[in-house]
A and B are shown apart, each in its own frame.
Chain A
Amino acid sequence: MTLRSRAASLLREPLVHFMIAGVLVFALLAGRAPDAGERRIVVNAEVVSRLLNRFTESFHRQPTPQEMDGLISDYVHEQVYYREALRLGLDKDDEIVVRRMRNKMIAIATNDAEAATPTDADLQKLLDKDPGRYAREPKVTFAQLYLGADSPATRAAARDALAVLRQGGDAARFAQAVPLNPRYEAADADSIGATFGDAFALALRKLPRGEWTGPVTSGLGLHLVRVDAVIAARPPTVAEARQQLANDWHEANVRKAEEEAYRKIVDGYDVVIEQPK
């Protein structure tokens, strides 16, 4: 069934006729003959399809005929109350209405920005503006041998172990059994920092490549380290940082739209703030 024929068939529903008749009766009782203007509530195909869409958006399915009747009935109730409330001036100086209107204006002002999709060029511009924020972290490939808490004895063990390692020997007997990996492959600075502490992650990048060195101090104690490769921090491509860029772009875009809209409107107003005497 197409939307249009569905709406048409709804309009033929007896309940709908009954409700519309009810509206007329209500309007008569309210004291004034209905005219063709604001006191005429028409549930036409357009209204029905709007109600239908709202329902399907919320519930991801078509309403049953009973539910559709309910939606129409509710719509009529809403219009009756709403229009009568406006006629009685209930919207004036109502702080909730004022706040709603403000929110509605903001929503209208930012609607385009909310729905806007950034182009790659937009994201590239954002990326170029603050490359540090989006920089891919440096990655380090390294081997480490944990010796224990810093003490004269540990430092002595570090010297001995270093000598063994530099001669290509096996220094496993010096290692402490800890839940650390002997080798980390292209580990990013964040994850190294989380395991060893940030100072250690930083220190690694300054060590010579390809040779055992140390002891290097971490938040855990002393280590011997062999850094095999450092992939330097670099600005990412848009594709790599798309999510973060899009989140930031979106946030900034909405904020900008809101500020601009306000500035444009407030320019047309004469704001006088009277200081209390």
Chain B
Amino acid sequence: MRRTAIIAALLLGSAFSLSGCDKIKQAVSGKSEIKVVETEFPERVFWGDTHLHTANSVDAFGFGNRLGPEEALRFARGEEVTSSTGQKAKLARPLDFLVIADHAEGLGATKALYDAPRLLITDPTLRRWYDLMHQGPKGSLQATGEMLQARSQNKLPGGLNDPAKAEERTRKIWNDHLDTVDRYNEPGKFTAFFGFEYTLMQGGNNLHRNVIFRDNKDRVAKIMPLDPTNELWPDKLWDYMDGYEKSTGGKVLAIPHNANLSNGLMFMMTDPSGGPMTAAQARRRAAHEPVVEITQIKGDSEAHPFLSPNDEFAGYGTAGWDLNNLLNSQPTKPGDLAGSYVREALKRGLILEQTIGVNPYKFGVIGSTDSHSSLSTADDNNFWGKHPGVEPGPTRATDGFVPGINSGRMNWQSLASGYAAVWARANTRTSIFDAIQRREVYGTTGPRMTVRFFGGWDFKGDDLKGDWVHAGYRRGVPMGSDLGGHKGTGAPSFIVSALKDPVGANLDRVQIVKGWVDKGGKSHEKVFDVVWSDMGKRKPVGGKVPAVGDTVDLTRATYANSIGAPALASVWTDPEFDPAMRAFYYVRVLEIPTPNWVSYDAVKYHLTLTPDIPRKQQERAYTSAIWYTPA
């Protein structure tokens, strides 16, 4: 008891400050005098990352990250920064918005431990980590691997993450963080959100949430990021969110991520105790968590081949991530998968709604990076890795996910993914937040494809010849919405239009994924190829459109847009619609095959790689769904 108290005091005291420092940032936070006008409806898509870690994250610092929020913001805005490994890094295209989501848990704690006087660190474990971190990058990775291990077993030394003892340190870091973020928020040009990550974990199963505030500093400074607990459901987080909204009049939402590493716990059919989920519980979840992160560096959570055996594109970014939970402490059993993937969760939501009257999993989807290097990158030809231990270099393709640590994963399994696409009416905190809240968002695995998706009851092919965007909003609903009651006698129809990334690959096809639940309460899914390139030549065989082809040249890490199409659009009517069955529809857009980041590395560093390492991929966009509910 006494020992941990001393450690905590050390960690606390090492948040070194001089009086006067706190005034600093206010002094320069002068805002440019710009008034931002919202358009009548969303006219352009804004690109961002809702999930970036800086040196203030307990693991990121351990991984060797020495870049703070300021460098992260400058980088996202398109400026060149020097990475933690001393390399010049720059985004080819700036982002429109960024959420720095540092772990609330032990905020700044590893940095504090690193800076603490060794003499007074009496806890042998903390002392070991201190020594390892001071040995250099390898030791630091080792220490961080051990910390994560300890975290999964609830064996972290008290001094490292005790929220009460670290409160003053956390306050200081949080307030500095708010000041910095504010200095880079430029309404109309670049939105810097306030947020943090709530790293809820149950025995190493990933139940993490990113928390994002709609508000400015006057409100957000009234609270502190919340430390996580170990339950199955984030009830304490939702209490905290309710408390924030009630006491400040502000708004906040949470985004679950890496369902793929939750061993089935992210999208449960039951309540946390294993009993039936109640309507109140379902409503509470849906109210706090309007979107889910569907893809990121640690794999893709859209669909799994085991769950979707008829979907030949279901295995993207799942290999290796589907063997164990996040901290490699529990193997994943086949029965776990259904609670770990987004498509299945959308189906589960329908079943639950049919049973209890409320759909807890009526969420939209976004992509984000979860980068721990302060560098938000999702382009395969400019990928800076999950953390500084795997920044560009000749060995990272074949290193472990955390080099030198048996994490159960290889780094080549990392995806250069993803980004969040938001159909907002302006580039401001309020507009982007509101768009996320109403689920008018989609996720991509990195490429910036533009995707529109509207559902309605009377769309016809001819609509595409006119002003179909206005028609979409006036006579229908955009992605993330409810179709509303069944009108007329026909089936719902959908306008879908996808455009390639202007500096990226052509599109292979546009698909609509339908999920529904029958009267017996059983869920189903079907993937419809809606429109694809060279439709005249690529006739479906056995209900499947043949593969688009492949122009990838692995010796040079190039591809050619001689196949595929730059744009694909269609009006699609559900041929199997049954007005008695609840259903959802979302769009998946596939690019033609392109080299992955490993292939770019292989060319740059002249690597010889074994054939088990994938070198190509078909990158994709996933939209939020449109739901149909029988009257």
Q: Is A179 an interface residue (CB 8 A)?
A: yes
Q: A180 vs B33: C-alpha distance in the bound complex, in angstroms?
A: 30
Which residues on B sit within 8 Å (CB–CB) of A218? 502
Q: Is A29 an interface residue (CB 8 A)?
A: no
Contact present for A197 and B502 (CB under 8 Å):
yes
Chain B residue nearest to A112 in the complex (CB): B20
Chain A residue nearest to B450 in the complex (CB): A179
Taking A57-B22, A239-B33 as contacts, is the C-beta distance between A177 and B118 under 8 angstroms? no
Which residues on A sit within 8 Å (CB–CB) of B21? 107, 111, 114-115
Q: A220 vs B504: C-alpha distance in the bound complex, in angstroms?
A: 9
**Smallest beta-carbon distance A105→chain B, Å:** 11
Q: Is A146 an interface residue (CB 8 A)?
A: yes
Contact present for A117 and B567 (CB under 8 Å):
no
| Max count, chain A CB within 10 A of own CB: residue among B20, B119, B502 | B502
Contact present for B168 and A179 (CB under 8 Å):
no
- Count A-side interface residues using an 8 Å CB cutoff: 56
Q: A173 vs B466: C-alpha distance in the bound complex, in angstroms?
A: 9
Pick out which of these stretches binds chain A: B102-110, B329-337, B484-492, B493-501: B493-501
Contact present for A179 and B117 (CB under 8 Å):
no
Which residues on B sit within 8 Å (CB–CB) of A246? 28-30, 183
Q: A96 vs B23: C-alpha distance in the bound complex, in angstroms?
A: 27
Q: Is A178 an interface residue (CB 8 A)?
A: yes
Q: Is A148 an interface residue (CB 8 A)?
A: yes
Which residues of chain A in 145-171 are interfacial with respect to chain B, using CB atoms and an 8 Å cutoff?
A: 146, 148-149
Q: A59 vs B164: C-alpha distance in the bound complex, in angstroms?
A: 12
Which residues of chain B in 3-43 are interfacial with respect to chain A, using CB atoms and an 8 Å cutoff?
A: 9, 16, 18, 20-24, 27-34, 43
Contact present for B47 and A177 (CB under 8 Å):
no
Interface membership of chain B positions 565-602, coded 1 if the CB is closer than 8 angstroms to chain A and 0 otherwise: 11101000000000000000000000000000000000
Which residues on A sit within 8 Å (CB–CB) of B20? 111, 114-115
Q: Is B158 an interface residue (CB 8 A)?
A: no
Q: Is A33 an interface residue (CB 8 A)?
A: no
Contact present for A240 and B34 (CB under 8 Å):
yes
Which residues on A sit within 8 Å (CB–CB) of B119? 90, 94, 96
Which residues of chain A in 98-151 are interfacial with respect to chain B, using CB atoms and an 8 Å cutoff?
A: 99-100, 103-104, 107-108, 111, 114-118, 146, 148-149
Q: Is B171 an interface residue (CB 8 A)?
A: yes
Contact present for B569 and A178 (CB under 8 Å):
yes
Among A108, A221, A240, A250, the residue within 8 A (CB) of B33 is: A240
Pick out which of these stretches binds chain B: A1-9, A12-20, A187-195: A187-195
Contact present for A58 and B168 (CB under 8 Å):
yes
**Smallest beta-carbon distance A128→chain B, Å:** 18
**Smallest beta-carbon distance A216→chain B, Å:** 13
Which residues on B sit within 8 Å (CB–CB) of A180? 450, 499
Contact present for A177 and B464 (CB under 8 Å):
yes
**Smallest beta-carbon distance A85→chain B, Å:** 9
**Smallest beta-carbon distance A56→chain B, Å:** 11
Interface membership of chain A positions 40-78, coded 1 if the CB is closer than 8 angstroms to chain B and 0 otherwise: 000000000000000001111000000000000010000
Q: Is B465 an interface residue (CB 8 A)?
A: yes
Taking A114-B20, A242-B33 as contacts, is the C-beta distance between A247 and B168 under 8 angstroms? no
Q: A12 vs B280: C-alpha distance in the bound complex, in angstroms?
A: 54
Q: Is B468 an interface residue (CB 8 A)?
A: yes
Taking A111-B21, A149-B566, A191-B44 as contacts, is the C-beta distance between A220 and B16 under 8 angstroms? no
Which residues on A sit within 8 Å (CB–CB) of B9? 74
Contact present for A178 and B183 (CB under 8 Å):
no
| Max count, chain A CB within 10 A of own CB: residue among B16, B28, B221, B498 | B28
User: Looking at chain B, what size class is its interface with the partner chain?
Assistant: 35 or more
Contact present for B566 and A221 (CB under 8 Å):
yes
Taking A96-B116, A197-B503, A220-B566 as contacts, is the C-beta distance between A179 and B497 under 8 angstroms? yes
Q: A52 vs B595: C-alpha distance in the bound complex, in angstroms?
A: 60
Among A107, A115, A172, the residue within 8 A (CB) of B465 is: A172
Contact present for B30 and A242 (CB under 8 Å):
yes
Contact present for A219 and B183 (CB under 8 Å):
no
**Smallest beta-carbon distance B419→chain A, Å:** 12
Taking A94-B117, A111-B18, A247-B183 as contacts, is the C-beta distance between A179 and B498 under 8 angstroms? yes
Contact present for B183 and A179 (CB under 8 Å):
no
Contact present for A115 and B30 (CB under 8 Å):
no
Interface membership of chain B positions 265-278, coded 1 if the CB is closer than 8 angstroms to chain A and 0 otherwise: 00000000000000
Chain B residue nearest to A85 in the complex (CB): B119
Q: Is A275 an interface residue (CB 8 A)?
A: no
Contact present for B18 and A108 (CB under 8 Å):
yes
Which residues on A sit within 8 Å (CB–CB) of B429? none
Contact present for A220 and B567 (CB under 8 Å):
yes
Contact present for B32 and A243 (CB under 8 Å):
yes
Q: A196 vs B503: C-alpha distance in the bound complex, in angstroms?
A: 8
**Smallest beta-carbon distance A110→chain B, Å:** 10
Which residues on B sit within 8 Å (CB–CB) of A257? none
Q: A88 vs B498: C-alpha distance in the bound complex, in angstroms?
A: 73
**Smallest beta-carbon distance A65→chain B, Å:** 19
Contact present for B32 and A239 (CB under 8 Å):
yes
Q: A34 vs B319: C-alpha distance in the bound complex, in angstroms?
A: 70
Among B29, B32, B503, B566, the residue within 8 A (CB) of A244 is: B32
Chain A residue nearest to B461 in the complex (CB): A177
Which residues on B sit within 8 Å (CB–CB) of A244? 32, 186
Taking A111-B21, A117-B28, A219-B503 as contacts, is the C-beta distance between A179 and B172 under 8 angstroms? no
Q: A94 vs B448: C-alpha distance in the bound complex, in angstroms?
A: 52
Among A90, A181, A190, A221, the residue within 8 A (CB) of B43 is: A181
Taking A111-B18, A247-B183 as contacts, is the C-beta distance between A241 and B168 under 8 angstroms? no
Taking A180-B499, A195-B450 as contacts, is the C-beta distance between A221 and B172 under 8 angstroms? no
**Smallest beta-carbon distance A215→chain B, Å:** 14
Chain A residue nearest to B96 in the complex (CB): A194
**Smallest beta-carbon distance A43→chain B, Å:** 18
Contact present for B93 and A194 (CB under 8 Å):
yes
Interface membership of chain B positions 157-175, coded 1 if the CB is closer than 8 angstroms to chain A and 0 otherwise: 0000000000110011000
Taking A58-B168, A114-B24, A247-B184 as contacts, is the C-beta distance between A241 and B499 under 8 angstroms? no
Taking A115-B23, A181-B43 as contacts, is the C-beta distance between A96 and B500 under 8 angstroms? no
Q: Is B469 an interface residue (CB 8 A)?
A: yes
Q: A221 vs B499: C-alpha distance in the bound complex, in angstroms?
A: 11
Chain A residue nearest to B171 in the complex (CB): A58
Which residues on B sit within 8 Å (CB–CB) of A177? 464-465, 468, 497, 567, 569
Which residues on B sit within 8 Å (CB–CB) of A58? 167-168, 171-172
Which residues on A sit within 8 Å (CB–CB) of B115? 96, 99
**Smallest beta-carbon distance B14→chain A, Å:** 9
Q: A219 vs B499: C-alpha distance in the bound complex, in angstroms?
A: 10
Q: A193 vs B47: C-alpha distance in the bound complex, in angstroms?
A: 13
Which residues on B sit within 8 Å (CB–CB) of A146? 567
Contact present for A194 and B47 (CB under 8 Å):
yes
Contact present for A241 and B47 (CB under 8 Å):
no
**Smallest beta-carbon distance A129→chain B, Å:** 17
Taking A57-B22, A115-B24, A243-B30 as contacts, is the C-beta distance between A176 and B448 under 8 angstroms? no
Which residues on A sit within 8 Å (CB–CB) of B503? 197, 219
Which residues on B sit within 8 Å (CB–CB) of A200? 502
Contact present for B44 and A195 (CB under 8 Å):
yes
Which residues on B sit within 8 Å (CB–CB) of A233? none
Chain B residue nearest to A247 in the complex (CB): B183
Which residues of chain B in 255-291 are interfacial with respect to chain A, using CB atoms and an 8 Å cutoff?
A: none
User: What are 10 A-B pairs with beta-carbon distances under 8 A?
Assistant: A57-B22, A59-B171, A94-B117, A107-B16, A111-B21, A181-B44, A196-B502, A197-B502, A239-B33, A246-B30
Q: Which residues of B contact A (CB under 8 A)?
A: 9, 16, 18, 20-24, 27-34, 43-44, 47, 93-94, 96, 115-119, 167-168, 171-172, 183-184, 186, 221-222, 448, 450-452, 464-469, 497-504, 506, 561, 565-567, 569
Additional A-B contact list (15), CB under 8 Å, known A115-B23, A239-B33: A96-B117, A108-B18, A115-B21, A148-B567, A149-B566, A177-B569, A178-B567, A178-B569, A180-B499, A219-B500, A242-B31, A242-B32, A243-B183, A247-B28, A250-B27
Nearest 5 CB-CB pairings of A with B: A219-B502, A177-B464, A177-B569, A197-B502, A114-B24
